[in-house]
Amino acid sequence: MRGASPRPQLRGPGVLHQRYVRRAPQPAVQPVSTPAPASPGLLGSGHVVVAFIALLFVCQLALLVEALAPARVVFRILSFGTSLALLVLVKGPRLKHPAMPFLLASAGLTALNFFHPGTNTPLAAAAQLGIQVSVFAPLFWASRLRIDAKMFGRVVLLLFLFNVASASLGILQVTFPGRFQPALSAMVEGQGEGYVRSLQFETASGARVFRPMGLTDVPGGAATGAFYSVLLGGAFLLSRQGLSRKVLGAAGIGIGLICLYLGQVRVAAVTLLVCMAAMGLVLTVSGRWVRLVTLASVVGGFAVVAFGWAVAVGGDAVLSRWSTLTASDPSKVYQSNRGRFLDETFDEVLPEFPLGAGLGRYGMANAYFGDNLDRTSPPLWAEIQWTAWAYDGGWLGLVCYPLALLVTLGWGFQVARRRDDSRGEFWLWGSLLFAYDLGAIAQTFSYQFFMSQMGMEFWLLNAAFFSAYSWNRNAAVHPHRR
């Protein structure tokens, strides 16, 4: 009969071992359209990181314009103030980076020193605390942003191009004396004629020039751009993002090494050597032998060629300066220069200020907002970051912040050694961050790295990578398991 329901078809003997379950007829399933995720908006996207890096570059370049000299203080604090403002303005899910608890503890110790009897003026103390918080603030606000692998690659590329530009200008400043020279920093000029003359050298052509400044107003400042040109260039050299990126990375390595030799900043060279060794270690542990050989061959080859070029331009001054690294033990070279400041920190500063020395007594906060006529809290000098940590928090200050750096370094190493070969190449960026972070830790023995824009860039890059890696992992997990 037409109106009767069709009888079930006969099946084989296996049907005897199955339970018969009568089910009600199911309606046809209609496709349900899933609404597209809402746009995070400008203050929730990775474009905030790009815009902030652009602001850092503008503030640095503004210091080179003589017409803007009366507003130097504004440009020096603009980036720090913007970082604090973004800490309030940026909204989004809070990703917990492992360094956050240690940074909050460090900030708490600094805040307690606000009430120390040795604190200078309330304004200088507030500036000191504000600088420290603004430097690591990107780890908190940038980790809330939705950043993908492509956006993180753009951030690294932007940093790379700026540093290559600074290193290239540094080479031109030595090759063509006086033609590309910016105005000398007033702070350096105020050290006296003898000190200023010590920052100059005689080139092969007989001209007397400053050590290359690059896009800074400090002699030898181009060495920073040279350092990051080589380090970031190594990552692009190993990337799979096309031949153009590899060529760009190799060019950055060559330019950076020439500028580094001309800059004669031995600490930067030793730090770079440590970073390259760290990246090589990660490649070895993860079994990426071809990339290891590629990196060693390109950097090693350029190192020889660049040294010959630098000596041909810079003359005997360059040759004699770098020969001091091999003429004696490198540890003795450091000890005779920055090493004595580290000894003074543990032998003199900490016994005198075991809980901190009060705020606003050193650095930019004291120079702009301090009262140096107050004999109860005279100005202090911090040449290296470890001395600054001791002034801000005593013994505990030398524990909390370094622990934040160590856990950040460890997290980057864990990502770098993984064998996944995803489209985002997170293992490569993890290798870069591991070497980059190790270099930053090394530079704390040379100057106040985490009281500067370089320290802010450190936490910004780590936060952007943490956000990109976290969003990538969440996207790879099935929705019901998130």
Cβ atoms of 167 and 222 closer than 8 Å: yes
Q: pLDDT tens-digit profile of 129-162?
A: 999 999 999 999 998 888 888 888 889 999 999 9
Q: pLDDT tens-digit profile of 77-120?
A: 898 999 999 998 988 787 889 999 999 999 999 999 988 888 88
Cβ atoms of 248 and 234 closer than 8 Å: no
Nearest to 86 by CA among 475, 464, 397, 402: 464
Provide the mean pLDDT of the chain: 83
- The identity of residue 259, as a single letter, is C
- CA–CA separation, 244 vs 388, rounded Å? 43
Estimate to the nearest angstrom the gap between the alpha carbon of 450 and the chain centroid.
10
Nearest to 359 by CA among 24, 126, 10: 126
- Answer yes or no: is pLDDT of 76 > 50: yes
- CA–CA separation, 123 vs 371, rounded Å? 10
Q: pLDDT tens-digit profile of 306-327?
A: 999 999 988 888 888 888 776 6
Nearest to 228 by CA among 272, 264, 258, 270: 272
- Answer yes or no: is pLDDT of 482 > 50: no
Confidence of residue 31 (pLDDT cuts 50, 70, 90): very low
Q: How much of the chain, in percent, has pLDDT values that exceed 70? A: 85
Cβ atoms of 138 and 32 closer than 8 Å: no
- CA–CA separation, 180 vs 169, rounded Å? 7
| Helices and strands (DSSP H and E) totals, the chain | 20, 2
Q: What per-residue confidence (pLDDT) applies to 423? A: 55
Place of tokens 């920055």: 338
Structure tokens at 320: 């004699």
Provide the angle, in degrees to the nearest 10, between the axes of the packed helices 243-263 and 289-314: 40
Q: What per-residue confidence (pLDDT) applies to 396? A: 92
Q: pLDDT tens-digit profile of 371-389?
A: 877 777 888 888 899 999 9
State the Cα torsion 427-429-435-436 to the nearest 10°. -160
Section 152-176 average pLDDT: 92
Q: Please tell me the pTM assigned to this model.
A: 0.83
Distance (Å) of CA 100 to CA 138, 168, 226: 11, 37, 30
Q: What per-residue confidence (pLDDT) applies to 300? A: 92
Identify the weakest region by mean pLDDT among 55-59, 183-187, 203-207.
183-187
10 CB burial (10 A radius; 0-12, 13-18, 19+): exposed
- Answer yes or no: is pLDDT of 23 > 70: no
- CA–CA separation, 45 vs 38, rounded Å? 12
Identify the weakest region by mean pLDDT among 18-32, 92-106, 208-222.
18-32
Estimate to the nearest angstrom the gap between the alpha carbon of 24 and the chain centroid.
63
Nearest to 90 by CA among 158, 128, 141, 151: 141
Confidence of residue 302 (pLDDT cuts 50, 70, 90): very high
Total residue count of the chain as it appears in this document: 482
- DSSP H helices, 90-214, are 100-112, 122-136, 138-141, 149-175, 186-189, 193-198
- Answer yes or no: is pLDDT of 481 > 50: no
- CA–CA separation, 252 vs 246, rounded Å? 10
Section 404-423 average pLDDT: 83
Q: What per-residue confidence (pLDDT) applies to 36? A: 41
Provide the angle, in degrees to the nearest 10, between the axes of the packed helices 222-238 and 426-443: 160
Q: What per-residue confidence (pLDDT) applies to 419? A: 67
- CA–CA separation, 61 vs 221, rounded Å? 13
Name every residue whose Cβ is closer than 8 Å to that of residue 424 and which is 6 or more positions away in sequence: 148, 149, 150, 152, 468, 472
